[in-house]
Amino acid sequence: MNTTRNQLIELLKRSNQSFISGQELSENLGISRTAVWKHMKELEKEGYQVQAVPRKGYRISGQPDKLSASTVKWGLRTRWAGKQLFHYPVVESTQVIGHQLAQKGTEEGTVILADEQTAGKGRMGRRWHSAKTEGIWMSIILRPPILPHKAPQITLLTAVAIAEAIESLTNTTPAIKWPNDIFFHDRKAAGILTEMQAEQDEIQYIVLGIGINVNQSLSDLPEDIQQTATSIKQETGIEWELAPLVQQILADFETYYGNYLLNGFAAIKEKWEHYGYKIGEQVHVSASKQEYQAEILGIAEDGALRVRKLDGGDENLYSAEIHW
Ligand code: BT5
């Protein structure tokens, strides 16, 4: 989104419901009054209700409920997450765009959003179903000053931020299934994909992918995941606007990520365990060619999954699939 539009949105947001004159906007933005008028027309095309009253100026009296760079910016309360934001109607995958931008040096916190992905990616070459306007399909570019082997901790703290954001907005409590899934009642509603470009002891960048099913009915989901997936709408019985959810996730993410960089992962462990799925229960573990039944104990201070095997032996898992 271009910077003039960003600034215009900031000014309109600040003036809240009162009018702001074309003159004031033009002076603040350093553009002509005709250019201001053109920007207001663009906002109108995006679905904003713009009131233009002679001698008073402009006022926004209504916002569209669809996702766009402007609607996300409008209520965004972050310092850096999503300050630069790109929105596309259709992409192959927001991850692909994230990598392209990150390689060009794009700043940390840049967000890529899409209404629809034609080749949404899961982990290990799996597909992520990302139908049009029914969910949040988003990638965030990060440049954390941490060692590459710690990158999985970013997945875990992101899961906490998503769980908290969903809970605070929708009043339903999700669970986090280690390492990267958000669940409701044994069904997956969201997944996280953390892709990294790194050298031996330095992360160049991370493209953090977040996929959340929001407004899908069961029949909107492809048949192969109808028994295993859900959406926030299916859990709450109502449709949700996407922009406020994106804003809340970015705000919570910014807090957890900032806290993590300052204080390390141990500070997040307790929060994670609060949402942790199947803690204290028996699950099936597939880990590096080993398969066994184990009880989930929680996570370690470095984010490893702590399990107790049936023979009593404890293990800390860094890479494994959990089934039940
Ligand atoms: C994930 O992989 O859960 C990571 C998903 C990340 C998606 C986001 S969307 C924005 C960004 N751009 C991308 O291209 N990707 C990221 P994994 O744990 O491997 O789970 C994949 C499995 O989840 C699939 O094999 C299906 O079984 C199931 N699945 C696919 N689409 C789903 C959906 N919409 N809802 C629930 N389950 C789904």
> Which of 35, 62, 89 is the endpoint of a domain?
62
d(Cα 245, Cα 238) in Å, to the nearest integer? 14
d(Cα 321, Cα 55) in Å, to the nearest integer? 64
The per-residue pLDDT for 30 is 95
- Give yes or no for a contact between 185 and 104, defined as CB atoms under 8 angstroms apart: no
292 and 255: one domain?
A: no
What percent of the chain is predicted at pLDDT more than 70?
99
In this prediction, residue 69 has a pLDDT band, given cuts at 50, 70 and 90, of: very high
Pairing of β 85-91 and β 57-62: unpaired
Task: Write the CATH number for 297.
Answer: 2.30.30
**C-alpha closest to that of 277 among 179, 203, 207, 200:** 179
Centroid of ligand 1 to alpha carbon of 2 (angstroms)? 31
The per-residue pLDDT for 106 is 97
In this prediction, residue 15 has a pLDDT band, given cuts at 50, 70 and 90, of: confident
In this prediction, residue 185 has a pLDDT band, given cuts at 50, 70 and 90, of: very high
- Give yes or no for a contact between 98 and 111, defined as CB atoms under 8 angstroms apart: no
Span 308-313, average pLDDT: 90
Pairing of β 85-91 and β 111-117: parallel
129 and 239: one domain?
A: yes
**What is the rounded end-to-end Cα distance, in angstroms, of the chain?**
44
In this prediction, residue 2 has a pLDDT band, given cuts at 50, 70 and 90, of: low
Q: Is there an atom of ligand 1 within 6 Å of 116 CB? A: no
What would the pLDDT profile of 204-243 be if each residue is shown by its tens digit? Answer: 999 999 999 999 999 999 999 999 999 999 999 999 999 9
211 and 251: one domain?
A: yes
Torsion sign (Cα): 319, 320, 321, 324: negative
**Could you tell me the residue range of the domain that residue 57 belongs to?**
3-62
Instruction: Look up residue 154 and give its two tokens.
Output: 């970013």
DSSP one-letter string for 208-246: EEEEEE-S--GGGS-GGGTTTB--HHHHHSS---HHHHH
In this prediction, residue 1 has a pLDDT band, given cuts at 50, 70 and 90, of: low
Pick the residue whose CA is nearest to atom 30 on ligand 1.
Answer: 128
Atom of ligand 1 nearest to the CA of 124: 19
The rounded radius of gyration (Å) of the Cα atoms in the chain is: 22
219 and 312: one domain?
A: no
d(Cα 130, Cα 123) in Å, to the nearest integer? 14
Q: How many domains are contained in the chain?
A: 3
Peptide bond into 179 cis (omega under 30): yes
In this prediction, residue 65 has a pLDDT band, given cuts at 50, 70 and 90, of: confident
Centroid of ligand 1 to alpha carbon of 176 (angstroms)? 15
58 and 77: one domain?
A: no
Span 24-41, average pLDDT: 94
Span 65-93, average pLDDT: 94
d(Cα 22, Cα 266) in Å, to the nearest integer? 51
Centroid of ligand 1 to alpha carbon of 145 (angstroms)? 27
43 and 87: one domain?
A: no
Q: Is there an atom of ligand 1 within 6 Å of 130 CB? A: yes
Residue 192, H or E segment:
strand 187-199
Q: Which amino acid is at 135?
A: G
286 and 253: one domain?
A: no
Span 127-156, average pLDDT: 96
Q: Sort 158 into a burial class: Cβ within 10 Å, 0-12 / 13-18 / 19+.
A: buried
